[in-house]
Chain A
């Protein structure tokens, strides 16, 4: 997995609550057996005026001029700013794959759905929870200032605005360590395989029917 340490990135505002993973990447793109290439179809139903299907040349499709991520000022955004309960619904990891492939490394919201939140960390992405008031304030700042960037420092656990305001955020210690170092989590767990084997043997003795 790619490490995430620090990022100074353009912010794109998606001013909606409860953005679900069906909206982030519609189901027809889940037919793919690959884990890359979902970026052009991120937010497909909001982003394009026509109906998207796998295999289409997305560069030739009509863009929805009203969708915020299509606006010129947000091209090249690396940080997505959004509202509460982002990523609710399906567990599809295609959602963070699509956002990452689109260019986002950080998502800031007042809350996230659990499975999406967890999936982000597996893909070198950092989901950040800030209070609804701070999120609101950042929305206003983004709106007021073209080219608005935030500086995100995972080590320091801070988000810094262009004015120098610093917002601290929480992150689980294990996730932080793995993300900072871009660690292969399966490899880490494999290092503890002796413990897994001991547990498994005891578990099998206690509940042999689980191993039939």
Chain B
């Protein structure tokens, strides 16, 4: 038998038909949110089509929901355009149906990539799609998961299938033990530093190696979440005991004898010995430092003890031009030490870093300290209502509030700044999110991507500090 990669196994087991190198693949789970679905539902309505399989749909509102003022309910959403979009999702789900819907302010509402896994709606071996590029997150479970556009959202709704060309296989191998204070976020950024933001284009990435297998599920989700920032639509990690332990007992996880059959199958979800990858990228875990982005693309990143790179390090003319624009946009000079960069705001949240483990790590840094006077706003936005409740049971909210952080309601918030949470022009932010593009967190805003620990430490110090030396 031909040795297969994990991606090959997941792809091949979902092929309905194949013609001229394009396969029709079956989709097991379709996650839906308010921003990329209204036009798809409208398309179904206009064509007189229905959902192919209602039980595949799990929906929530996350991108555009406010993170405060929930006591006023829907009327607390000041922007009528935002409110209409959130109400439209409810109307569409009422009309078309769903296996589960967690509307605005439901106790289980939250970021779709946090909610899916915590409900057990994301399972190993699944194909998972969502009209959101960070759907790659779910690959942490040994699933084939990727973002799609709204036309494809409609296609999956109507047919349960997608037309796909198979990607090439990339293995990212990270061996060794991560140093103290070095997280999955730093691994992700260190990988992107090496591959560039287009290095994974056309590939499905499997993350492997001892440093990856040592990660918790939260850490694995952080890593797979950022696969798209390396250009790969899908990132994934083989199933092991850590995966199975996480999935067990969740609301939508299989039960009883179905559980045993599922586990037996899930244990086959790894690349076979001798499986061939089109390309392999290796990193030594012991050399990875806490990372801080300095520019306007996730690949513009250095270790915290580094400096903003100078133009002579650019690899070609196109990159030189990119860096010059980034210096100007970020208002940074080449050779500025990272730990001399002062910040105005701190955002701890997003589908990359808003799970309970992220909040625990940030709270451990913030405990007994206080946000620097120069920092205008430091906010913590839990990934879901359940994460928020768990954090409150553990007293994390009190730690954050005592340290001067704002403790908000769940949602995507200032990761993409669609709701009212945003940077003002010129403001500089330490952010645990995934993109530092121009204007991403607000027009003219300047984003530096970091881990939750690094963000909390920056909040306290008022500038970036090396978490390894921060006591």
Contacts and interface: CB of A to CB of B under 8 A. Distances in A.
Contact of B150 (A16, A93, A192, A208): A93
Interface residues of B, number: 80
A209 B258 contact: yes
A186 B443 CA distance: 37
B279 interface: no
Interface in A1-31: 15-18, 20, 22-23, 26-28, 30-31
A88 B155 CA distance: 22
Contacts of A64: none
Contacts, number: 193
B409 interface: no
A45 B443 contact: yes
B49 interface: yes
Interface string A62-97: 000000000000000000000111001111110010
Nearest to B198: A85
Interface string B349-383: 00000000000000000000000000000000000
B198 A173 contact: no
B342 interface: no
A151 interface: no
B39 A33 contact: yes
A23 B438 contact: yes
Interface stretch (A109-117, A140-148, A158-166): A109-117
Nearest to B135: A91
Contacts of A113: 198, 201, 231
A45 B84 CA distance: 24
A30 B81 CA distance: 10
Interface string A155-195: 00000000000000000111000000000011001101101
Nearest to A86: B198
A212 interface: yes
B418 A22 contact: no
A17 B126 CA distance: 35
B163 interface: yes
A195 B17 CA distance: 8
A42 to B, nearest CB: 14
Nearest to B325: A16
Task: Categorize the interface residue count of chain A.
Answer: 35 or more
A22 B158 CA distance: 28
Given A91-B131, A186-B47, A196-B16, A84 B81 contact: no
Contacts of B42: 33, 35
Contact of A88 (B82, B161, B231, B262): B231
A117 B196 CA distance: 18
Given A85-B197, A186-B49, A209-B258, A119 B133 contact: no
Contacts of B155: 185-186, 189
A91 B149 contact: yes
B7 to A, nearest CB: 14
B88 A190 contact: no
Interface stretch (B20-28, B303-311, B392-400, B456-464): B20-28
A100 to B, nearest CB: 12
B419 to A, nearest CB: 10
Contacts of A30: 35, 63-64, 418
B428 interface: no
A119 to B, nearest CB: 4
Contacts of B202: 114
Interface string B8-22: 000000101101111
Contacts of B271: none
B375 to A, nearest CB: 24
Nearest to B41: A33
A212 B126 CA distance: 13
Nearest to A121: B151
Nearest to A45: B439
Interface string A188-210: 01101101100110010011111
Given A27-B417, A31-B79, A91-B149, A18 B322 contact: yes
A192 B39 contact: no
A11 to B, nearest CB: 19
A172 B81 contact: no
B439 A26 contact: yes
B318 interface: yes
B262 A209 contact: yes
B254 interface: yes
Nearest to A30: B35
21 contacts: A15-B321, A22-B437, A26-B439, A27-B440, A31-B82, A33-B88, A45-B438, A84-B198, A89-B435, A91-B147, A111-B198, A114-B233, A115-B147, A118-B149, A173-B22, A189-B159, A196-B159, A206-B265, A207-B265, A209-B123, A210-B28
5 interchain residue pairs of minimum CB distance? A209-B254, A122-B151, A93-B149, A33-B38, A119-B149
